[in-house]
Amino acid sequence: MITPATLQRTVSAALEEDAPWGDITSIALLPTDAHATADLIAREAGVFSGGEVFASAFTITDPTVQVDLHVADGDRFEAGDALASVSGPARGMLTAERVALNFTQRMSGIATLTAAYTDAVAGTGVRIADTRKTTPGLREFERHAVVSGGGSNHRRSLSDAVMAKDNHLEVLRQGGQDLASALREGLARLPHTTHVVVEVDRLDQIPAVLDGGADTVLLDNFSLEDLRTAVGVLAGRATAEASGGVNLDTVRAIAETGVQVISVGALTHSARALDLGLDLRIV
């Protein structure tokens, strides 16, 4: 969920970055009383996300600009569809145009890629989840876009869940600490509601992780055969999450191994911005 404070802060920062001392082109060329209307047009098919962000770019710039959304976040559309209409003072519209498009193109691209993954595992009951591989400063927008595409959010930040990864385990190993004991001792210092995820890259690590109290075992770069074996070893005592080596060609086979979650960093770090355009008419 994008909070009002995050929306205001992030969009305002982007507008300030793009026009730190005003839009001097619009100020120089456009009369103060010039008005315009424009349509947000899809140049290709996809899944929409970022409607509220798109509208905010215009209304923060000029509160008198009117934005009408014709689709909701999560809606699918075809090339040529009109997704929104904008009308109001031309100066404000042209100042906000690029920022509004940048956000919506980025978010719709993430939603569209996420939908491709969720479509690929349809019927398996597997969740497609994002990761923390997000654009700095845009995490909430990008997480929202993943949900628009039918995906699920992983932990929001380092503060939200214990997630012991390979480097954490290596530090423990170098210190001669037993993994199960370290987990139990660490969890005793945290609230009982804290969710615990532990990443493993070998089958023989799983018993100690379970003994330590993990809620989710992250099976990193496991073969399909080892994923099936790991699901059997876990036997419902912890959630089985697969990661690594996931793409649209492999995700269905991974889902069919019996894991409950597949985390995909590519949803946010490799999504292509969707081709959307703002067709403007001076009136």
In angstroms, the CA 135 to CA 179 distance is: 32
In angstroms, the CA 213 to CA 44 distance is: 47
- Vertex 84 angle, CA 10 and 76, to 5°: 90
- Could you confirm whether 33 is annotated as catalytic? no
- Vertex 223 angle, CA 220 and 229, to 5°: 90
Residues paired with residue 66 on neighbouring β-strands, in sequence order: 87
Pick the catalytic residue: 97, 130, 199, 241?
A: 199
In angstroms, the CA 220 to CA 75 distance is: 33
- Could you confirm whether 76 is annotated as catalytic? no
Contact 61, 23 (CB under 8 A): no
217: closest CA among 229, 200, 195, 235? 200
- Could you confirm whether 165 is annotated as catalytic? yes
Alpha helix segments (H runs only) across the chain: 4-18, 24-29, 51-61, 90-120, 139-148, 166-174, 179-187, 206-212, 224-234, 251-255, 266-269
- Could you confirm whether 199 is annotated as catalytic? yes
Burial of 216 per CB tally in 10 Å (0-12, 13-18, 19+): buried
130: closest CA among 247, 241, 240, 264? 264
What SS3 state is found at 203? helix
Pick the catalytic residue: 155, 165, 228, 252?
A: 165
Pick the catalytic residue: 52, 62, 220, 275?
A: 220
- Could you confirm whether 178 is annotated as catalytic? no
Pick the catalytic residue: 62, 81, 98, 201?
A: 98
Pick the catalytic residue: 52, 62, 132, 133?
A: 133
Residues paired with residue 35 on neighbouring β-strands, in sequence order: 89
Task: Answer positive or negative: Cα dihedral of 235, 255, 123, 216.
Answer: positive
Task: Please identify every residue annotated as catalytic.
Answer: 98, 133, 165, 199, 220
